[in-house]
Structure 1
């Protein structure tokens, strides 16, 4: 090695002086370029940022129900290119969901209540089901083209996301089941012949709402229906001991047993305030004046629409590993420092940093909806903070596993990622005209029945 260095030095000294100067200059410039990295500053944002911080209690009040936390953290939602990627983001502690012990753990089974403008295609494709499966099902069974508001669909998929079965509850008495076979989907019809009876169930909180409701006589599905009906008005984790509730149900009795039920109305009193939710003819719940209970959502998490650099694709095939690595959100290309907005009212359940997601925020909107925002430059909210639709929650960035400045945005319904650009967003519209008059007549009939013991 020393001989090589000595030889290079002799050759360099033998060069003419101009040549030595030129060679030395080129060496210095090459070294500087190799080690230099530009410093990128986010563009100045002179618009004042107002951050509303909700106090986070460290200890429960004497009568407050305490929920045990569960760990939830956004997975790395962008395709992995090799096995050498850093480990996923450490779990972030998030308040436990009130329905954590009542729902099914099978993430391959999904439920949906038909709403205005829905078709079989629009419902299934937003959950990532291939249009080929939808066509195979609908072409053979034409009745599925006539879905009606308030009817319930549930379906199951296999590990590859292929549709395996669909259950269509057409009415209280008739349910149609479509199961995949060698020659497409085969239909099976189940008819219920029981009698429906209305019943009022009253209860008082002693422990969690789920435990108290079950002790009062509600089934798991009935508890779930109550929570979903009231989820936009109150936080069930913050109910207190001795709060009262009254539930009006219609149950189908067959051979002395309750086969199924439908929630008609519910009243819950907490903090000396009554909360009502009453079902209308369209299958949705409204307050006593006919106003919608669901909070509306914005389509985009920014003040203006930016270019989509990577689309939602639940079955994206990684060209390097050959494995299916879903891209569960949409990437918007935007400058670092762009204000990121909450698309709806909700509660911040995570505001942290991970090696793949970078700085990220997760917001829960009621019981069914969750949104996630990743690769952020700066966080403007904290876990436990309440936010409104349009509030600034962060500034966009290029942190984590990112190839350029952008925002990765995800929209989840019932713990299932859907395409944020095509998902049917809930609306907060109320009833009007004849629909409202009929509903108010029903309210006058239902409200007196919702009495506390």
Structure 2
């Protein structure tokens, strides 16, 4: 049982503790090593650390106040046999409460002084800046950075071998092949084509890959999370017209070569007139061929791409002509088509269409645009696949995603593709006729069931085979006839002017050319 004398001692003890706290604060403020100094931003000052170690926390104040209340209460609680207890003088109780309030106020003032000191020290101190060396290229957006690796495809190269050469994982290669399913661009790599890689040096992960076919054509694969997005970039550039006159001396191919035509142009003309002209028997020495073409240039540099606008064969008593119309087809000077009509469906009969052409289709998982460039026919395995038109087999491949597939070229302007075949009945370089069997429907590659994925391309771009304007008719529509005849007249005038200009321009002799 505490008596009145003990209560007085408690109050004195609180006052002494308060005075000690004040003396300690004065001593620490007088020490020079605790004065504000420049330090790292955010680091507490020594004085703040000292105050923090000395100041009572709100929890300690609450406990102390509770203990004081308990002492007062117990002190005056009557014992069982005690005599009446003296009551504490009012002035003593008031003094104790005032001392407790004073201590609390001083502690709060110390907190405020610490905050002010820390702020002043932060403002006065010189900032400490830690510099880290950063590669300037890493600050550029991905599209502006130069590629880390570049490679020119050589004869005998495989995509797997090229990826291994640069330590890019086979898993990433298959992810790129999966993205390439819509274009199958990687199946057309030839010696001289360029590959450009953007890789993360930390883990050698492939961020971006470009396949450069020429100045005007490239395919770009860009990493997005766990997949790659593919985009085909085609630059139109400037198209410059030129004309050549071929004097037949020997075979058509050799005569065209002497006149400066490319091998690809010669093959295109041969395919174009395949049904109209017997090149071996009908052509004679002295016959002439006039050719009007356009060549593509980008920033003054030739891309190697060209297109035929007009071709005129002239014999002793016959002519054969071909003029490119606005619909993308070639017609003779009377408006008759040079190409036989295409089949709308490359199967013996019409089958259910399970998926239509959709260049803006959204991928069901990623939500990004994943074009469907063809028409899917739900035909059973083994159903014959027919050539949609006359042409030449240019590709016979087995792709991990597209499966076994065939590509046919039809006159240089049209191309058809047949994917997921179970068997292939033709060889590369073989000539096929409209309606000829080229293979059978299957489920090869990555598919959920047997079907034929059929694509129709015009000038390198996929179109809707069910609705596109493909050569189904045999002549220029009557509504377009006047415009077509005006176009023919323009082609003829342009050829005459360019050939006359060539004759008046001295030319250096060509190596390997033979005299006429």
Could you say which TM-score interval applies, normalised by the shorter chain? Answer: 0.3 to 0.5
RCO greater where, 1 or 2, for CA within 8 Å and sep 6 or more? Answer: 1
Structure number with the higher strand fraction is 1
**Structure-2-length-normalised TM-score:** 0.39
**Structure-1-length-normalised TM-score:** 0.44
Structure number with the higher helix fraction is 2
User: Considering only CA atoms, is the larger Rg found in Structure 1 or Structure 2?
Assistant: 2
